[in-house]
A and B are shown apart, each in its own frame.
Chain A
Amino acid sequence: MNKLIAILVSLSILITGCWDKVEINKRIFVISMGIDKFEGQQFKSRENEIFPNFIPDRYKITFTYPNLALIVGDGAGEATHKITSTGININDIQKNLNTHLEGVISFDHIKLIVLGEEMAKDEELMKEVLDFIERSPEIGRRIHLMVAPGEAADILSTKLPQPIPLGLYVRDLMNKPTRAARSADADIGYILRNLHESDAAIVPRINSSKNEIVVAGAAVVKNYKMAGWLGEMETLYLMFMLDKVDTATGNVIVDKRILPILVSDSTTKMTVSKKEGRIHVAFNIEAEGSITQHGFALVGQTFDPKYIRRVEKDVEERLEKNIARTYKIIREKFGADLIQAGEYLRKKDPKVWDEVKDNWEEYFTKSQSEVNVRMKIRRVGVTR
């Protein structure tokens, strides 16, 4: 009898630690979040006059979360819910929303955070948001952070043709094996690390029209705020510099014929050195690829080693020129060390780094680049 009482008492103590129990259908799993700067009319209430030290709203945040009831089959309405609110910061908005929503907001399964352009250009807000992401025990480091031209809320309003949440759609888009190198390959872990190590990072750009999402191009973040945009091609060539190209397509003109070349594998070796007082960055790129289209009924040409070599040469020249141009834009227009040349020096050549680290931005802006591409065309399809 005593034993039984002991067991019952200990069970009632040991098993009842569940302050945090929330049924899964009472959870609101935020899948995508859009963060915008809020500059609209401040809500004037009687209370703001009573408490004159109130802090004005600065953010407009849009959450989307799946309609769990619909997914399990006993509900109606839209597949994803969307809610927008303004507030002083993300936590404030989260607390505000507790007065609107019956569920508990959880960021455990967030997949996508979109920043509005105006917000990304504001250093203070940007630092707050980045810290929120880094500090949160809920938000993982494989989620995608993106910047939208215009408002992030518009991106979250996109009606996709498939009934899947935007965050999951974007994740699939970014993780597929044939992902185009025109969108920056950077998740939140990569962005945070580069901001810490080099003070500069690229953030993919997300754009939407009525029912379409485009992830291409990139925003340059420097000194914790957005400095400007890189176009799709610039992003592609930057990806070549960063050795992050899986597949890419490009066109070359040989004998006045436009040939599409599929680059299927590319490795880049970057070396940074100091020569005559200037920083010298060299990229040695080895790429492999194939010709995917040639002229009809021109038998034999793609089987001619000399001709293939000419095609390769053209690819090499184009890539070399374009990468060098992109490099020039990055260093002159942005002065942002997106290629982590400073990090390279710190690791591989600490003596030089000690000399230049105090004026690194100046050194980088005046740096020289040298690009060497070695292209190998391995395959030409099934016709000769």
Chain B
Amino acid sequence: MNRNNDQISSAQLAFTLAITMIGIGILSMPRTLVEKVGPDALFVVLGGIVIVVVLAFIISKLVTKFPKEGIVEFGNTLLGKFLGTVMALGLFAHFIFFTAIEVRMFGEIIKTYLLLHTPLEVLMISYLLTVVVVVRGGIEPFARMSQILFPIILISSAMAILPMIGELDFTHFLPVFRTPVLDLVKALPLMIFSFLGLELILLFSAFVKDTKNIAKNVMFSAGFTGLIYFVTVAVTIARFGLVETTHMIWPGLEIYKTIDIPGAFIENIQIYVLASWILSVLMTTVGVYYGASLTLSRIIKSPEQGFLAVLMLPVIYYLALMPDGLLQTLEFMDLFSNYLGTLYLVLVPIVLLGMSLFIKKKGGSKSE
């Protein structure tokens, strides 16, 4: 905020959000959906997309009311100093836990697929250091990196799906709508939590030059991310069938093991997809890590966030090492998204928007 270059366009904001939303959730999403609703998984995805686009609209409405301000500032305005700070501290904790989970899952997946003998701690430390380098750069390098990396990740993953098309069996989605409606509704939160990262608008909107385009771009970003999820779930279930999808921990990654391009010099395409996924999860971590350090710097009214990012590193490292193993990490992830996720992705924006409307009316000052 204090540096001259801390400005991004709303299109860049859309890129940063999309790349932050796509992280570790996408790999296990087909499994969790099929476990809950069987062949109707795609309808849950569609329902989730609709809800999230509406949420994106609500959040953008809220932030456009306070141009050049982040949630810490307008939270104080709306909730009062004390409640506003509590809310901001909660948001800080939310991002810290989020980062820790991303780091741990990154370590687990790399250890399973790529570096089998490297200690988890080493994987996580070197990963965290890389993340901190980007975070210290601030919003602009992050936004530009997203802009460059997003198409690369998208195109490489999409290309890898192409050889699979002939073998997809879409009858796996039959029978349609045999799942009780209640189950479908119950599975919706699961889908919404795959869009965690969207709450970063609350902070990043302060940097956006063209405030009036935020809603449009953010909704597009959420919708596009939803489309990527939709394709991933569709392809995975069509390739593996219902039973096998539920047997795998990361079907979204395992799917690339089924590719065999005849005559190609590359034999295990999976490795290349994994590489592009690493970029994607790196950007997710950067996004939420940056969110955490930014929130803290705003709370303590520090002009710089870079040194806070470095100070936070041991905390995140410690938190990331807390779960005993993969199973407990997954449990923590569920807990995290159920409580903090609901709070900051759904409740806080809605309450704040309601309050801002209320205060405006009470004050009688009709702006715009």
Contact = CB atoms under 8 A, between A and B. Distances in A.
Interface in B252-306: 254, 257-260, 262, 267-268, 270
A10 B129 contact: yes
A14 interface: yes
Contacts of B262: 175
Contact of A20 (B112, B116, B243, B260): B116
A48 B85 CA distance: 67
Interface string A333-364: 00000000000001110100000000000000
Given A137-B113, A175-B262, A196 B241 contact: yes
Interface residues of B, number: 36
A347 B129 contact: no
Contacts of A286: none
Interface string B162-183: 0000000001101100100000
Interface string A90-119: 000000000000000000110000000000
Interface string A13-39: 110011110000000000000000000
A20 B118 contact: yes
B119 interface: yes
Interface string A73-95: 00000000000000000000000
Given A193-B244, A197-B241, A350-B178, A140 B129 contact: no
Nearest to B175: A350
A141 B258 contact: yes
A192 interface: yes
Contact of B268 (A13, A18, A140): A140
Main secondary structure of the interface of B (DSSP, over half): helix
Interface string A184-201: 000001001100110000
A33 B26 CA distance: 34
A109 B260 CA distance: 12
Contacts of B145: none
B247 interface: yes
A347 B172 CA distance: 7
With a 10 A CB-CB cut-off, give which of B115, B129, B260 has the most chain A CB atoms: B260
Contacts of A192: 244
Contacts of B260: 140, 142
A375 to B, nearest CB: 26
A211 B30 CA distance: 46
Nearest to B248: A134
Nearest to B261: A142
Given A17-B126, A140-B260, A189-B258, A196 B244 contact: yes
A189 B258 CA distance: 7
B243 A13 contact: no
Contacts of A20: 114-118
B174 A348 contact: yes
B257 to A, nearest CB: 5
A196 B123 CA distance: 35
A14 B129 contact: yes
Interface in B102-142: 112-119, 122-123, 125-126, 129-130
A382 B270 CA distance: 47
B117 A193 contact: no
B258 A142 contact: yes
A156 B112 CA distance: 30
B247 A13 contact: no
A175 B261 CA distance: 11
Contact of A141 (B113, B257, B267): B257
Nearest to A10: B129
A17 B115 contact: yes
B109 to A, nearest CB: 10
Interface string B204-222: 0000000000000000000
B125 A13 contact: yes
Contacts of A14: 126, 129-130
Contacts of B122: 17, 19
B247 A193 contact: no
A347 B175 contact: yes
A137 B243 CA distance: 19
Given A134-B247, A137-B113, A196-B241, A19 B258 contact: no
Contacts of B119: 19
Contacts of B343: none
B242 interface: yes
With a 10 A CB-CB cut-off, give which of A14, A141, A196 has the most chain B CB atoms: A141
B240 interface: yes
A108 B116 CA distance: 13
Contacts of B125: 13
A137 B262 CA distance: 21
B257 A193 contact: no
A142 B259 contact: yes
9 contacts: A14-B129, A17-B118, A19-B117, A109-B268, A142-B259, A189-B239, A193-B240, A193-B244, A347-B174
Interface of A: 10, 13-14, 17-20, 108-109, 134, 137, 140-142, 175, 189, 192-193, 196-197, 346-348, 350
